[in-house]
Homo-oligomer: A and B are copies of this chain.
Amino acid sequence: MPVPLFGGGEVNVTIPERSGTAFRLKTGDTLVVVDPRGCQVADLLAFNADDMDEVISSGRTLDYAETIRLTAGHKLYSNRSRVMLDITDDTVGVHDFLLTPCSYDTFHHFYPDLPPHRGCFGNLAAALEPYGVTPDRIPVAFNCFMNVPVDGTTGRLSVLPPISKAGDTITFRAAMDLVIGLTACSAPASNGGSFKPIEYRIEPA
């Protein structure tokens, strides 16, 4: 488990392309998710570190925020209506909280001519297994930098390349002790057809 071993939090940890990781985040800690090359997506999950049955909830969050366009100033809620993460800074402003992480099955569906990949779903399942999370417990992720516009008239949604540029970030502050799952996206449509790393750093409270 690639836990940052340095102090101070100035150094970014790299999540290699098409992989994922999991780590603890303490109350008050800041998590900065970096798109180092631009146009890449990072799926983020959060669990209450003291009770892993409490998990990030798209439905609660969208209900409270009254928007699908979540950015600095918004809060990400759990299935128990408690704040898990505050978004404190965001240099992009376009993220997705509608879609579940791509999996072997979704790869087969959307990319029938490509070799299937376990996707962010499989990567999150593997990274979170040591914390006792089973695949069935992986909900809709907060997909950092993912660009999923919705047509207000027809309801149609599209998965477009992210608008994030190299060095763009989204920053969260933990409102409780958390286990975070985080990936570098594996799905061609989500990241403009190329696979790139994601970086993150933890700035202690």
Contacts and interface: CB of A to CB of B under 8 A. Distances in A.
A158 interface: yes
B136 A67 contact: no
Nearest to A70: B155
Contacts of A69: 154-156
Contact of A139 (B53, B64, B102, B139): B139
Contacts of A60: 100, 106
A140 B153 CA distance: 22
Contacts of A138: 79
A156 B66 contact: yes
A129 interface: no
Interface in A46-77: 53-55, 57-60, 62-64, 66-69
Contacts of A64: 106, 109
Given A67-B156, A105-B81, A98 B98 contact: yes
Interface string A125-153: 00000000010101111000000011111
B139 A59 contact: yes
B99 A59 contact: yes
A66 B105 contact: no
B58 A140 contact: yes
Interface of A: 53-55, 57-60, 62-64, 66-69, 79-81, 98-100, 102-103, 105-106, 109, 134, 136, 138-141, 149-158
6 contacts: A53-B136, A58-B59, A58-B140, A63-B99, A68-B155, A98-B98
